Chain A
Amino acid sequence: MTCQDHKDSMMAYLDNELSDEQKRAFEAHLASCPSCAAEMEAFKKLKRITEGVALVEPEDRLWQQYWGGVYNRIERGIGWVVFSVAGILLLIYGGFTAIEKVIDDPSVSVLLKAGLLALLAGLAILFVSVIRERLYFWSRDRYKDVRR
């Protein structure tokens, strides 16, 4: 085995992730290779330094209130969905009522009524087209069943 092969064992040795047999083989290599032994020593020092750095423990209050923070997000998320759906429904209803009134009003010119109907027909075609495209790509998506 070359020194390059032993580089992989170096980290596992440092972190005590080698089996006894692998450990003995690596220690034998260290004894015969001053360059790897020097590198190993430098890594040991680095590990001591990083192990000396500990994260500050937050107050217990943070853990007690943690789920509350997550729950608030879930609740607000549901709130936004309900609000958006209601907003869209009201907008559609208001739009249709307004258009209905315009169409029924004999004082409004035929040209404006035809324009409004064309606008509605265009929106409906766009909507159907987008839905059809989505369904087409979803049915052919090779990754939709990839397990996560």
Chain B
Amino acid sequence: MASLCDEKAVAAWEACGSPRRAFEAIVNKHMQDAYYIALGLVGNREDALELSQEAFYRAYKHFDQLKDAKKFFPWFYQILRNLCFSHLRKRRVRRAGSLDEMDGEPPDMRMGDCFDPEMIAERNEAKDRVWKAISQLDEKHREVIVLRHFRTLSYDEMAKVLFCNRGTVTSRLYYARKRLKDILDRESGSSDVASDDEELRKGGQS
């Protein structure tokens, strides 16, 4: 995870007549974080690329609204997450519409958000189950899991990015993991996640 502070890049932006180069430096610094966070949130490589680039474009367009150079990434993250969640909601509505057309029955919302494990992660059966479970989490729980597990943000960094305090981060992580564990237990039909743990270790060795 790149540092959340962009004072140098933002100062360069403000100092130079043509800010394109300064913004290019900001994009190069944060593109991996943006792409991987979007990938974790929407679960599809093409969409993650599109959404993360669109978020940078919107950040460029509204750069004058950023008043504190230290808060570039938290500010940018809000743009990115709003784009990703709005994309997921549209995708859910589209899917509900197409299912309604097909058989007139309401869609099963527990199915998650069309995550495609083959496209986003090295896979075996246990890893696929984890992705499916993550896709069934609600937005605020999914984002803390993505930020912590796939971008390894510290609690303080997460608090900055999510505009909340450390206590809220801790509490959200607790409930997100509890929910994730419940989903995995329900899917595997066991009382704990030990079997997945075993399988994952085998998968990791192969």
Chain A interface residues (CB < 8 Å from chain B): 7-8, 10-12, 15, 17, 42-43, 45-56, 58, 62-63, 66-67, 69-71, 73-74, 77, 147-148
CB-based contact B174/A55 at 8 Å: no
Known: A49-B126, A53-B200, A54-B121. 10 other contacts (CB 8 A): A17-B154, A43-B181, A52-B127, A52-B130, A55-B36, A55-B40, A63-B31, A70-B53, A70-B56, A74-B61
Instruction: Specify the chain A residue showing the minimal Cβ separation from B45.
Output: A58
CB-based contact A49/B193 at 8 Å: yes
Check A73/B200 contact, CB under 8 A, given A42-B193, A46-B177, A147-B67. no
Give A45 to B184 CA distance when docked, in angstroms: 12
Chain B interface residues (CB < 8 Å from chain A): 20, 24, 27-28, 31-32, 35-36, 39-40, 45, 49, 53-54, 56-57, 60-61, 65-68, 71, 75, 119-122, 126-127, 130-131, 145, 148-150, 154-155, 167, 170-171, 173-174, 177, 180-181, 184, 192-194, 196-197, 200-201, 203-204
A residues near B177, Cβ cutoff 8 Å: 11, 43, 46-47
Instruction: List 4 A-B pairs, minimum CB-CB distance, nearest first.
Output: A73-B57, A52-B200, A70-B56, A69-B53
Give A74 to B56 CA distance when docked, in angstroms: 9
CB-based contact A66/B174 at 8 Å: no
Give A112 to B186 CA distance when docked, in angstroms: 75
Residue in B65, B145, B197 whose beta carbon sits within 8 Å of that of A45 in the complex = B197
CB-based contact B57/A70 at 8 Å: yes
CB-based contact B170/A74 at 8 Å: no
Give A63 to B167 CA distance when docked, in angstroms: 36
CB-based contact B181/A54 at 8 Å: no
A residues near B174, Cβ cutoff 8 Å: 7-8, 10-11
Most chain B CB within a 10 A radius of its CB, from A7, A10, A47, A67: A67
Between-chain CB contacts (< 8 Å), 23 pairs: A10-B174, A11-B173, A11-B174, A42-B181, A43-B181, A45-B194, A45-B197, A48-B201, A49-B196, A52-B126, A52-B200, A52-B203, A53-B130, A55-B36, A55-B39, A56-B121, A58-B45, A66-B35, A70-B27, A70-B57, A70-B60, A74-B20, A148-B68
